[in-house]
Amino acid sequence: MRSSAAVIELDRQLVERVLAKDPTVIEDIVRTYKREVYHLALQLCRDHDDAEDLTQEVFIRAWKSLDSFRGDARLSTWLHRITVNLYLNIARSKEYIARKQWDSFDEEVMSGTQSAEYDPEHELFIEQLRQHVDEALTKLSPAQRTAFILRHYYDLSIREIAERMNNTEGTVKVLLFRAVRNLQKLLSFYRDNNAASR
């Protein structure tokens, strides 16, 4: 696994090759960033086949847009921006609802919720909880969902999310606020059940 400094240096070298119009650089860009782009695409789409298709389209778009890359951002940031934009376009144009199978979810959404202590029914409880979270997340708008994923699963700053979504920081804050508020409403029955059981 490369160190952070090595990753930054590799990115810098690739940027230099892009700016120098090296015709072979796209092969190394794909080799270097395919896994990272696929992982983001999978988080957004929640489906292997859709993520594969989106990843392929990202690199096709990147190849076609290399001449317009000015080198004022890291390649990874640029590719993330393309991934997010393509996903949002797909979601809007096809009213795409991605399947969601979360292994965990942010405490901010489920504040006030207490998971059951381990017992024979614990695994069933967790599975039902995941299904409810899955269903709730599909009801977010594509923009809210994207902002939420980038913030709570990629731990990106507001500024970094704004760069990738091509939005202002204020817009990202609004999207995150609405996403959390909507998820809290959709999952409020867990808090109500806990309150009733006390």
Q: How confident is the model at residue 60 (pLDDT cuts 50, 70, 90)?
A: very high
Neighbouring C-beta atoms of residue 63, cutoff 10 Å? 13
pLDDT tens-digit series, residues 10-55: 999 999 999 999 989 999 999 999 999 999 998 888 789 989 999 9
Does residue 138 belong to any structural domain of this protein? yes
Domain termination residue (choose one: 94, 111, 131): 94
Domain identity same for 85 and 153: no
Task: Tell me whether residue 191 is in a domain.
Answer: yes
Q: pTM surpassing 0.85? A: no
79 or 3, which is more confident: 79
Residue 181 lies in a domain: yes
Beta strands (DSSP E) in 16-62 are none
Alpha-carbon distances, residue 127 vs 130, 133, 135, 188 (angstroms): 5, 10, 12, 17
Q: Is residue 17 part of a domain?
A: yes
pLDDT for the residue numbered 1: 58
**Last residue of one domain, picked from the residues 77, 94, 111:** 94
Residue 62 and residue 128 in one domain:
no
> Is residue 85 domain-shared with residue 133, that is, in the same domain?
no
Q: Has residue 129 got a pLDDT over 60?
A: yes
What's 63's domain CATH number?
A: 1.10.1740.10
Residues 134 and 181 in one domain: yes
**Gap between the Cα atoms of 65 and 142, Å rounded:** 24
Tell me if 66 is assigned to some domain.
Answer: yes
Integer angstrom CA distances of residue 11 from 28, 31, 54, 71, 184: 10, 12, 22, 10, 39
Host domain of residue 155? 122-197
Share of the chain above pLDDT 90, in %: 39
Mean of pLDDT over the chain: 80
Distance CA(47)–CA(42), nearest Å, equals 6
Question: CA 138, CA 65: separation in Å to the nearest integer?
Answer: 31
Mean predicted confidence (pLDDT) in 169-178: 95
Whether 77 and 157 map to the same domain: the answer is no
- The answer to whether residue 84 is domain-embedded is yes
Q: Are 83 and 40 in contact (CB under 8 A)?
A: yes
pLDDT at residue 58, as a whole number: 95
Q: Does some domain include residue 116?
A: no
List, for residues 78-127, the tens digit of each pLDDT value.
999 999 999 988 876 654 433 333 444 445 555 545 444 545 566 676 67
89 vs 108: CA distance, rounded Å = 28
Q: What is the pLDDT of residue 155?
A: 84
Domains: count for the chain: 2
Question: Which pLDDT value is given to residue 193?
Answer: 56
More confident residue, 157 or 46: 157
d(CA 136, CA 98): 11
Tens-place pLDDT, residues 64-77? 999 888 888 889 99
Phi and psi angles of residue 170, each rounded to the nearest 5 degrees, phi first = -65, -40
CATH of the domain at 159: 1.10.10.10
